[in-house]
Structure 1
């Protein structure tokens, strides 16, 4: 029995600005800092590979000192809206109703909610009362792919069922106003907010790329490379500058054995559906695969248009491929990285 991805749909927050329009706010924020440091930060934003980003808060609110409670309250309210709108869009694309879903996975790491987002979706959309819930909260950028893997495993054991995976993230809600570290600044330069929903099905007559295989890869002794530290002012970003180099070192072990167990090589992959973690990671991936005649143009486009939206970002890349009506038999490799440190992989066939 095959499991297919039948639709993907994104939802963007209402506030948006070009990167060049954020520079005046940065200048005010950095007004007490050394001039050389200020120029370095501005240049970092301008060269981050992100032209525009979206947010659950306007720039004035992002650069206003607020408590963790105030930011998390905005996150909770807006995350529910974004999740609901993206799920409705994905259901409409698949010609389904909310009560056609049997399994719901919600993914987010940029705020704290109990009950989780899925509980609100079930109530707001009057989904099945016996729907199976799974909130995924602590896998960061990898969780969009992780959620699809969990859904696939559920559907593989349950014929004629459907699952929804909803990823909602607001990295701007984690921005630390009093933190002038390069980690806080780099994360502000590359991250944006967004949501995306994916519908999967184990009905034989429903159309979409099949999930041929999936796997996770865990890096040893790398727990401190990426994540959040819970401080009094919220979720403080942890981001080691060695992440791109570490990914590059592990890439052969992440990609080639996974493909080999499916009796194919990278030459047999038509489409690379990669999470754009940031400009350096994108360049690392491009350097590794460009010589093989592969491109990650869609990954670069998503970073440029929206920034890194943590778990939701790779789903934005996937939606671009879903909208292309690819030829039957085309293969795609989905890949994302996240705290742990880990890599999540999915092999798709159209």
Structure 2
């Protein structure tokens, strides 16, 4: 089969705000009555985050879902265009060469959507194929990369995946633990990835595991006041059951005995600790994931790609891991390096 590789990556980040400023200036007054909010924020592993809507400046907690979606469309297109432009430049590719443009997002919707507007703004061809991955959550980058890679292998044309997540639009603080955790972790980002035929950081294989018996442990519900996170403290325990068998199967069937880099979605400190313990990783194996969590927060589906960027260029095999509603685990195996 035709080898498919990641040829370039680019990102665009809204303005940053510190975790302490968010706590002192906004969330302390909304979520700390039981006294646990400050502990959750301080133990989140997040130092700063990015937000298209900074609650210190603009409180949208009372906005309807319709208002939030209109703001999503306004913010996501320019952010996405910047990320895609940077990725194409990194790959040395022109927008006119792109055969498929895919967008993954769980934080906003419009039709015509981000895919249509970004493609037009950057001059992608009129016969462009478009694909949208919606509401899959934090793991969406990996199945989306797999589908885009299949297109490139079948058609021998470059393709682009854009992950754009604007979680700051969905602030609706209350005293429930899962909402406090969500508001302590989540952030905004756009990351674009260009895939092309040929050598480079080659997409090798992926595995997926869904445990439908635990589907209530992580939810992302559409409400009248935006989207609302449901998050059980049992999530790391469920992932621990499935994590090692899934990764071992991915490596075994591809004859891999050594992994050079781990790009693990930093869903939170406990998630990273669980991965480290279950896979028996060296103490520094997840440094990139912890650094992304600290510097950027949890940017939903874009986060694992921010981690991957920190690992590049990387010789040898790299494993991407991400988790989300389902409960679902996805793992992808990459081989080689981004820049030859």
Is 1:198 aligned with 2:193? yes
* Aligned equivalents of 1:300, 1:132: Cα separation in 2: 36
Structure 1 segments unaligned to the other structure (5+ residues): none
Is 1:186 aligned with 2:181? yes
Deviation, 1:347, is 0.8
For normalisation by structure 2, the TM-score amounts to 0.93
Residue aligned with 1:147, SS? helix
* Aligned equivalents of 2:256, 2:222: Cα separation in 1: 43
Other-structure match for 1:219: 211
* Aligned equivalents of 1:116, 1:242: Cα separation in 2: 35
* Aligned equivalents of 1:68, 1:164: Cα separation in 2: 29
- Is the CA contact 1:13–1:55 (under 8 Å) kept in the aligned structure 2? yes
Choose which of 286, 305, 317 in structure 1 pairs with 2:276.
286
Alignment length (residue pairs): 333
* Aligned equivalents of 2:207, 2:113: Cα separation in 1: 26
Residue aligned with 1:213, SS? strand
Deviation, 1:110, is 0.9
Deviation, 1:292, is 5.3
Q: How does 1:1-350 map to 2 (within 5 A)?
A: 1-14=2-15, 16-24=16-24, 25-30=26-31, 34=33, 37=34, 39-60=35-56, 61-62=58-59, 64-159=61-156, 161-177=157-173, 179-202=174-197, 204=198, 207-265=199-257, 268-291=258-281, 295-322=285-312, 325-327=313-315, 330-350=316-336
Describe the superposition over 1:199-249 as per-residue Cα deviations: whole angstroms up to 9, x where unpaired: 0001x3xx5211121222222322222221222112111212211111111
- Is the CA contact 2:165–2:189 (under 8 Å) kept in the aligned structure 1? yes
Ranges of 4+ aligned residues in structure 1 off by more than 6 Å: none
* Aligned equivalents of 2:233, 2:284: Cα separation in 1: 26
Question: What value does the CA root-mean-square deviation take over the aligned residues?
Answer: 1.6
Residue aligned with 1:69, SS? helix
Describe the superposition over 1:2-30 as per-residue Cα deviations: whole angstroms up to 9, x where unpaired: 0000111111013x211111122123324
Q: Which moved more, 1:189-198 or 1:69-78?
A: 69-78
Describe the superposition over 1:109-150 as per-residue Cα deviations: whole angstroms up to 9, x where unpaired: 011222221011121112111111100002110111111111
* Aligned equivalents of 1:311, 1:93: Cα separation in 2: 21
Residue aligned with 2:155, SS? coil
Describe the superposition over 1:59-86 as per-residue Cα deviations: whole angstroms up to 9, x where unpaired: 2324653222222221221111111110
* Aligned equivalents of 2:143, 2:285: Cα separation in 1: 24
